[in-house]
Amino acid sequence: MNKIIVSPPPFGLFTDELPLLKMKKIHVICPALIKASNCMYYLADCLRMAIPDVIRLIERVEQAKESGCLYPSYTFTIFPTHASGADLRLCMNETMKANEEYFKTDTMLFAFDPGAWPDMQEVKDVLQDTINRWVSEGRMTHLRNCY
């Protein structure tokens, strides 16, 4: 398998991702933030989930300190924030596992809002380390693109 590099999204991905999300062809991961967040935008505005339901899901993820996948309804994961005290490496591993075992998409989009984690470079490094480990262990069978 070729090496998978976490890279900036290609031009047009943010325009094209909504139909891909609705068709379950892309796995979108957003931090568990309520106010003016990517999570609220994708779930409430784009996928038309009721706002109280979205808030309930976000709060559940933060309280549990673990990623919350919306399988089988959507290829979407709510990722806990640094404020929850979640283990970044464990949550990143859970997100990869969800993609490989359930969603089986070849593209993952980490749409992290500023402030969800204090050091976004650390988030990117942990994500790349997680992908590299999964590839070296032969467990990465679906993912081809990660943004």
Which residue spans within 8-75 are E strands per DSSP?
27-31, 68-69
Q: What is the pTM of this model?
A: 0.88
Which residue spans within 32-120 are E strands per DSSP?
68-69, 76-79, 107-110
| C-beta separation of 127 from 27 below 8 A | no
- The pLDDT, as a whole number, for residue 1 is 45
Burial class of 17 by CB neighbour count within 10 A (0 to 12, 13 to 18, 19+): buried
Which residue spans within 43-135 are E strands per DSSP?
68-69, 76-79, 107-110
Per-residue pLDDT of the chain (147 residues; tens, 9 = 90+): 456 666 665 555 556 678 888 889 999 999 999 988 889 988 998 889 999 999 999 999 999 999 999 999 999 999 999 999 999 999 999 999 999 999 999 999 998 888 888 998 999 999 999 999 998 998 888 888 888
* Six token digits for residue 103: 């969603």
- The pLDDT, as a whole number, for residue 8 is 64
